[in-house]
Amino acid sequence: MADGCACDRHVNMYLTVSEAVQRGLSVAHPVAETETLPLQQAIGRVLAEDCSSRVDMPAFDNSAMDGYAIRTRDLGDGPVFDLPIGGRVAAGDSGAHTAPVGSVLRIFTGAPIPPEFDAVVMQEDCEGSADHIRFTRRPEPGQHIRRAGEDLKAGAPILRRGCEIGAREAAVLASSGHGHVSVYRKLKVTIFSTGSELRQPDEALGPGQIYNSNRYMLLALLDRPWIKLTDRGPIADDPALLKNVLREACETSDMIITTGGVSVGDEDHMPRLFSEIGGETDVMKVAMKPGKPVMFGRYGDALYIGLPGNPVSAFVTWRVIGSKMMNRRAGLRDTPLVSEQAVLAEPLHRRAGRQEFRPVRIEGSTSGGFPLLRLLAASYSGRVALLAQADGLAIIPAETEYLPEGHVLEFHRF
């Protein structure tokens, strides 16, 4: 259906997107258990402790250049400075070097600055021979010296708990002497796709059958080092079967994610089955497009989210609501979706009521440097091909009915 439909007539009874996110987050608690791992095994995991530096960074005054360490007080009036080379110090040396008064030390990047030396002249600025150098520009005291603790002092905070240990975090943990870190244990996540119509992409399709795309979309979205994933594949719309799989998943997982079966049709079993196994359910209609029906559930410590079956709806509800719940459950700090401003390349007409996450393509940029957005079809909740063509989602506020060409709006880039 083009611009909304009569199915939105109860929209004032729906939750707003931010209410739905708050409701989801209110039931998502970080896993309690942590483990201490060697840093190399903690890459990609979620840090479970606040960390401070164990050393000054850098730990000692050292040379920023390959060149010659000098004592500026040894220099005469110039304009040419001509000095003998009285020793050599390289990275890894102790730095307890001396050299006769009036001489310089050959020095390399990262080497400690020996006592009394207070500047480095880079070798490109020198002429000379194996035992002598000559240069003309008088160095300032401190030139090309990286001072102990200038990056960070010992004891200063480096990372807060709840971050994912990526490249930058791993580098600072290592630099500050953290060979082992405490991380949250992996989150046990089970997924399955409900629907008797679903076939695997390499099977032949019979009448009424479709390929299961949600399974693979979720596999990609959940391919994180802090997740221990159990993939139960597709499960037919058979209540007894679904109930068994659901119960087992709830008993063995921290989080269960399913697609399909959360709306109001006779084959939409998930809310009822979740109650029947003894879970608490919260079935919601959210004033968002796509992705109106979403279901949360709790079974003991296990957290359940039932995403709508339509693939674009499942993708968007996962991004906007589900991923935030999962991140919190895994111990990650809140990770707001990064949005930017963009400009509409064409006018937009729509029915007000639901906040919309509309697939868009970037068609160039404005003279002010904003991305210029071409809106993709108004009806798209089942259109995976269209999602694959999109560069991101334009965020259209719930109350909006019309936006002129050139309007600035929020945009989530993929």
Binding site for ligand LQZAQKY5 (CB under 6 A): 7, 193, 195, 197-198, 210, 212-215, 259-265, 268, 292-293, 308-311, 313, 381-382
Q: Using the minimum distance from each CB to ligand MOO, give the nearer residue, 103 or 313.
A: 313
Residue with tokens 């090309």: 144
Shortest distance (Å) from residue 164 CB to ligand MOO: 29
Residue 381 lies near ligand MOO (rule: CB under 6 A): yes
From candidates 23, 45, 106, 292, binder to ligand MOO by CB under 6 A = 292
Tell me the window of 19-27, 153-161, 287-295, 399-407 that interacts with ligand MOO (CB under 6 A).
Answer: 287-295
Residue 311 lies near ligand MOO (rule: CB under 6 A): no
From the list ligand LQZAQKY5, ligand MOO, none, pick the one residue 212 interacts with, judged by a Cβ distance below 5 to 8 Å according to partner type.
Answer: ligand LQZAQKY5
- In sequence order, the 6+-apart residues with CB closer than 8 A to the CB of 259 are 193, 194, 214, 215, 218, 306, 307, 308, 309, 314
Nearest to 214 by CA among 189, 228, 229, 194: 194
Residue 143 lies near ligand MOO (rule: CB under 6 A): no
Q: Using the minimum distance from each CB to ligand MOO, give the nearer residue, 258 or 310.
A: 310
Q: Using the minimum distance from each CB to ligand MOO, give the nearer residue, 103 or 212.
A: 212
From the list ligand MOO, ligand LQZAQKY5, none, pick the one residue 261 interacts with, judged by a Cβ distance below 5 to 8 Å according to partner type.
Answer: ligand LQZAQKY5
> What residues are paired with 182 via a beta bridge?
36
Within 10 angstroms of residue 138's Cβ, the number of other Cβ atoms is 15
From candidates 234, 279, 308, 392, binder to ligand MOO by CB under 6 A = 308
From candidates 289, 351, 358, 412, binder to ligand MOO by CB under 6 A = 289
CB distance 193 to 214 below 8 Å? yes
Shortest distance (Å) from residue 308 CB to ligand MOO: 4
Q: What is the Cα–Cα distance from 153 to 176, expressed in whole angstroms?
A: 10
Shortest distance (Å) from residue 303 CB to ligand LQZAQKY5: 18
Q: Using the minimum distance from each CB to ligand LQZAQKY5, give the nearer residue, 133 or 284.
A: 284
- Chain residues in the site for ligand MOO (CB under 6 A): 289-292, 308, 310, 313, 381
